[in-house]
Structure 1
Amino acid sequence: MNLQSPYLIAEMTQEIFTCNEDLVLESGGTLPGFQISYTTQGHLTPKKDNVIWVLHALTGDANAQQWWSGLVGEDKFFDPSKHFIVCANFLGSCYGSTQPLSENPKTGKPYYYDFPNLTTRDIAASLDRLRKHLGIEQIDTVIGGSLGGQVALEWAYTLGERLKNAIIVASNAKASPWIIGFNETQRMAIETDQTWGVRHPDAGKKGLETARAIGMLSYRHPQTFLQNQCETEEKLDNYKISSYLRYQGLKLANRFNALSYWVLSKAMDSHDIGRGRGGAENALFQIKARVLAIGVDTDVLFTSEESRFISHQVPKGTYKEIRSIYGHDAFLIEYEQMNYILKSFYLEGNG
């Protein structure tokens, strides 16, 4: 990556890519055409060697500069004055891409519960359609955390020589029973909502509040709650942590929908880089890119051991660790450590 090229900063543009070709899914079904909402910022170099593709987590969107503000943006590590930055909203998500509330072309009505199951491999395949649409032959870096890291790893496998660097943050090569279990309890919470099953955009909204509260417990480490939600007075009820989790649940339910949450959590469960490829070790060994796997020492959802496994199995792997009390969410918080780790990785690559 050329970190010195002086290019004028372009305003971030948000666009819709419409693919009229069917997307054949791993399940054997098809998605009859789809849309992907995406953003771009910056300019391609004459050699077109400065593409940075950012992949979001479960409830993220295409505006990486907002949710990863410590890494993406003017004067940040991934700077649009030097890089051409792309971020696309995943299929199934409710921020402009085709999702359960989109119109099913076969019926003329929203999909709702008829939306097909997606896997991380399907999401990566849809991103590759967008890559080809944009005329991008080579990608310098694909970077993603959590679900975004799972999709990034899948895409790194299929991109082969077209990808130089893959940065997999707080993620894994295969969804563990622990992660699937957490996701299942969240879907069970959605199912208890009496509106679940109704064909309405707000179906499952109260259940989603509970699901998010459950999720928050896995995104952080107990030490985080001891520091931020510990009581300073003796109480028998109305605890800080109770208010915090209810607030977080309501906050998500007001910006997301239960159907998208269901689809994307299922996609996370499906992740297995080795499926049909001779196992995870064999599949990881086929990845051509330099791979930086970043773990978090206190991550109880995507453990640091899972990140180490990725770095040990790929031919050109590096492992680095974030030390933090914030658990899984540390990759969205500990910007100083992230910047140091990334700088070291690129310096090693240019050495």
Structure 2
Amino acid sequence: MHYAQYAGRAPQFFTIGHPFPLEGGAELPSVILAYHTYGTLNEAGDNVLWVCHALTASSDVADWWPGTVVEGGLLDPSKYFVICVNKLGSPYGSTSPITVNPATGESWYLDFPQVTIRDMVRAYQELRTALGITRIKMIIGGSTGGCQAMEWAIMEPELFENVSLTVTLPKITPWIVADSEAQRMAIEADPTFFERRMDGGGQGLAAARAMSMLIYRNSVAFNRTQHDPDSEKLEGYRAASYQRYQGEKLRRRFNAHCYYRLLQSLDSHDVGRGRGGVAAALRRITARTIVTAVDSDIMFTEPEVRGMAALLGADYHVIHSDYGHDGFLIETPEITRILREYL
């Protein structure tokens, strides 16, 4: 079956009907998680591939990672029960700034409390129990999805057989925090962001996305793909229109309030918090771990990812890509080749 036959399905929903305390001290009165599944859970509840999505993706992994959810592919629904959950704070169905606050009957917007990566994983744990999943053959996470996978492998080490961490780190660097803050400043510069409306902050979000493209890619990618062969030009540059296109594309499909809070979630990621530091936390992971870097990534750099792999004693792989951090989504055949060796 071609992957397109799996993509575009409506999500399922799971409700946590009790108050859900957050790491920062606030509390959500209840939580809804949107999720997609492909394939059938076996009687033992252990033929599971759990995918954690990145910053602005959804739970429809067949849509945003084309070519993977296909018979004979990496996420083969004929063999595995594949699941991806939309993380807290995202606008694709789970509880977020644009869902309704039961206490007011209106959307949360900026009243939505800070949610950490650890909070997201605690919500996944409740869904996992409700579905009857007893063991996860492989959890797969790239970028911020890798942050989630790492947290969960530390929280419940016995649950996982394999942990795949791609272009991610155990603690967010000042470089990434600086990028996030610059993006938040762009959103805050749009006065509509502070209005209680669904499209509030839209232009600020577009500007933030254009900025983020510079860290998601790199100069090699831009200089190769956005080159203007017309040396007589005085305006209308290809790279300029590309930035505006990327900003507008995200503005149309995402939400500024959600993006703002998700950047804060990323900034707070530190597996060593309350666990005696990063090295001590990573020692809790007992599953076979596969760490993959992209050689041109300037967000989660190859030397930094290699250092994490050494702390984990992980199998380490480096993918070549001209597309920087986004290479983890673009170089699908190479990632598939690596991970299928462990399945």
TM range (shorter): over 0.9
- Tell me the residue number matched to 1:16: 13
Equivalent residue, structure 2, for 1:105: 102
Cα offset for 1:132?
1.1
Structure 2 unaligned regions, length at least 5 = none
One-letter code aligned to 2:262: L
User: Which residue is equivalent to 1:142?
Assistant: 139
- Range 128-137 or range 262-271, more displaced: 128-137
CA distance in 2, matches of 1:98, 1:183: 22
Q: Which deviates further from its counterpart, 82-91 or 99-108?
A: 99-108
User: Would the aligned equivalents of 2:45 and 2:132 in 1 still touch at CA under 8 Å?
Assistant: no
Amino acid in the other structure paired with 1:256:
F
What is the one-letter code of the residue matched to 2:287? A
Match of 2:239 in 1: 241
Provide the aligned C-alpha RMSD in A. Answer: 1.5
Q: Distance in 1 between matches of 2:332 and 2:255?
A: 29
Deviation digits for residues 116-168 of structure 1 (CA, Å, limit 9, x no counterpart): 00111111111111111111121111111111111111111112101111111
Give the secondary structure class of the aligned counterpart of 2:88: coil
Cα-to-partner distance string for 1:25-44 (whole Å, 9 max, x where unaligned):
11011111110000111012
Partner secondary structure for residue 242 of structure 1: helix
Measure, in 1, the Cα distance between the counterparts of 2:70 and 2:24.
38
Q: CA deviation at 1:310?
A: 2.3
Q: Distance in 2 between matches of 1:318 and 1:33?
A: 39
Aligned residues: 337
Aligned partner of 2:91 in structure 1 is 94
Counting only pairs closer than 5 Å after superposition, residues 30-45 of structure 1 correspond to structure 2 as 30-45=27-42
CA contact (8 A) 1:14 1:37 kept: yes
Distance 2:304 2:124 in 1: 25
Note if contact 2:146-2:166 (Cα within 8 Å) is conserved in structure 1.
yes
Contact 1:10 1:80 in 2 (8 A): no
Q: Distance in 2 between matches of 1:144 and 1:113?
A: 28
Secondary structure in 2 aligned to 1:195? helix
Aligned residue in 2 for 1:218: 215
Identify the residue that residue 257 of structure 1 maps to in structure 2. 255
Q: Distance in 2 between matches of 1:224 and 1:40?
A: 34
1:232 aligns to what?
Answer: 229
Query: Which letter does structure 2 place at the counterpart of 1:142?
Result: I
Shift in Å, 1:78: 1.3
Q: For each residue in 1:254-301, what CA deviation from the matched residue of structure 2 results, as whole angstroms up to 9, or x when unmatched? A: 010000001111101010010110000010011111111111000001
CA contact (8 A) 2:6 2:69 kept: no
Contact 2:44-2:134 within 8 A present in 1 as well: no
Distance between the aligned counterparts of 2:94 and 2:164, measured in 1?
Answer: 24
1:191 counterpart residue number: 188
SS of the equivalent of 2:79 reads coil
TM-score by length of 2: 0.95
> Counterpart amino acid of 2:260?
W
Specify every segment of 5 or more residues in structure 1 that has no aligned partner in the other structure, as ranges. Answer: 1-8, 347-351
Q: Whole-Å Cα distance in 2 between the matches of residues 10 and 241 of structure 1?
A: 34
Residues 1:270 and 2:303 are matched in the alignment: no
Verify the 8 A CA contact 1:13 1:40 in the aligned structure 2: no
Deviation, structure 1 residue 13? 6.3
Which amino acid in the other structure matches residue 171 of structure 2? K
Percent identity, aligned pairs only, is 44
What residue number does 1:3 align with? none
Report deviation, 1:72.
2.5
Partners of 2:71 and 2:254 lie apart in 1 by: 28
2:278 maps to 1:283: no
Secondary structure (helix, strand or coil) at the match of 1:166 reads: strand
1:336 aligns with 2:333: yes
